[in-house]
């Protein structure tokens, strides 16, 4: 089972480390992570702490990222508490504390856009110049001529293009929701839910979905999207107040009924909803 630990709790050993935020762990991220036993990430997103930009909506929770990483053979997910103090750390100080002293990295894998240290002054090139560990900079990955990135995937989800987002992610997009208390309609299978507004949410519409391995339909009304209001037509009783993860398997905000489900290769299917991939 993968260990999720803070930087100050790592045990001394040599590591092959992939570093980045890795939101969604899309197919480009997987190329970066390949061959590593440890992933280093940050929580919260650095943009939530520095500058005036609004932090991006999440494609995945930390727990979801850990689940996918475990399926990829990663042993440890090391989480750095990203705060104001950390944001002011120089790249050299970050490299010494994190990669050398704490993680004892022999290899560090990063994406071409990886930045670290005060004012994002640290780059893959400066890491490689350090010389105390090998550095691999992963090439960008494209699907049908389109560069894969978390930003692009968010754009696709936000406009309701679940199928295209899934092809870039390598897994179905997920949103987090809470079952609304006392709102279960027993005469039907419809359940009121509150979607997390920190998740990247699609436009209003009807979407094929999977919850706890069982298929259903998620409906997001126009009037409720900004506050996360939605309903799920789902044949399994869901307890009030429960926190659930909803995989979006098909559909579009512009259609009135879910489109045919996306079929992904078996190696891209993770977690309780893996049955939907066959």
Mind listing the pLDDT tens digit for each residue in 40-61?
999 888 887 887 667 789 999 9
Give the residue carrying structure tokens 């049908």: 144
Residues 6+ apart with CB under 8 A from 262: 162, 163, 166, 167, 172, 249, 250
Residue-level pLDDT at 255: 41
When the pLDDT of each residue in the chain is averaged and rounded to a whole number, the result is 86
User: Tens digits of per-residue pLDDT, 107-157?
Assistant: 999 999 999 999 899 999 999 999 999 999 999 999 999 999 999 999 999
For residues 108-117, one letter each, b for 16 or more C-beta atoms within 10 angstroms of the residue's C-beta and e for the rest, the string is bbbbeebbbb
Residue-level pLDDT at 187: 44
Query: Would you state the CATH architecture of domain 170-277?
Result: Beta Barrel (2.40)
**Quick one: what percent of the chain has pLDDT higher than 70?**
87
Domain 3-140 has CATH 3.40.50.620: yes
Closest residue by Cα to residue 105 from 94, 121, 90, 116: 94
d(CA 21, CA 265): 25
Report whether pLDDT(226) > 80.
no
Which residue would you say has higher pLDDT here, 186 or 248? 248
d(CA 238, CA 240): 7
Report whether pLDDT(261) > 50.
no
H or E, element range at 62: helix 62-71
| Pure H helices in 95-197 | 124-130, 150-158, 162-169
Report whether pLDDT(11) > 50.
yes
Rg (CA), the chain: 20
CA angle 8, 94, 46 (to 5 degrees): 85
- Can you spell out the DSSP letters for 192-255? EEEE-TTB--PPSEEEEEEETTEEEEEEE-GGGGGGTEEEEE-SS---TT-EEEEEEEEEETTS
Pairing state of beta strands 134-138 and 38-43? unpaired
Question: Across residues 188-204, what is the average pLDDT?
Answer: 88
CB 116 within 8 A of CB 96: no
Q: In Å, how far are 58, 100, 163, 189, 264 from 108, measured between CA atoms?
A: 25, 11, 33, 49, 30
d(CA 263, CA 167): 9
Tokens of 115: 């930045």
Tokens of 102: 């704490």
Report whether pLDDT(272) > 80.
no
Report whether pLDDT(257) > 90.
no
Closest residue by Cα to residue 203 from 195, 215, 192: 195
Residue-level pLDDT at 5: 96
For the chain, what are the domain ranges?
3-140, 170-277
Question: Across residues 168-184, what is the average pLDDT?
Answer: 85
């Amino acid at each position: 089972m993968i260990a999720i630990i803070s930087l100050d709790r790592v045990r001394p050993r040599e590591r092959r480390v992939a570093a980045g935020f890795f939101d969604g762990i899309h197919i480009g991220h997987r190329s970066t992570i390949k061959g590593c036993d440890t992933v280093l990430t940050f929580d919260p997103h650095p943009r939530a702490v520095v500058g005036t930009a609004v932090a991006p909506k999440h494609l995945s929770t930390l727990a979801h990222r850990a689940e996918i990483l475990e399926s990829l053979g990663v042993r440890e997910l090391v989480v750095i508490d990203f705060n104001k103090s950390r944001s002011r750390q120089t790249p050299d100080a970050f490299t010494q504390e994190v990669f050398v002293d704490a993680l004892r990295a022999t290899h560090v894998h990063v994406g071409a856009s990886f930045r670290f240290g005060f004012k994002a002054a640290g780059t893959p090139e400066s890491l490689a110049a350090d010389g105390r560990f090998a550095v691999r900079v992963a090439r960008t990955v494209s699907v049908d001529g389109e560069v894969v990135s978390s930003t692009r995937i968010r754009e696709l989800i936000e406009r309701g293009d679940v199928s295209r987002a899934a092809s870039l992610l390598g897994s179905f997009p997920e949103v987090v929701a809470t079952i609304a208390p006392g709102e279960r309609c027993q005469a039907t299978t419809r359940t009121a839910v509150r979607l997390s507004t920190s998740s990247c949410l699609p436009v209003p519409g009807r979407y094929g979905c999977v919850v706890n391995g069982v298929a259903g339909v998620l409906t997001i009304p126009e009037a409720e999207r900004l506050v996360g209001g939605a309903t799920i037509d789902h044949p399994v009783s869901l307890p009030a107040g429960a926190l659930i993860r909803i995989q979006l398997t098909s559909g579009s905000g512009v259609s009135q009924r879910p489109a045919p489900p996306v079929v992904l290769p078996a190696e891209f299917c993770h977690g309780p909803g893996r049955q939907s991939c066959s």
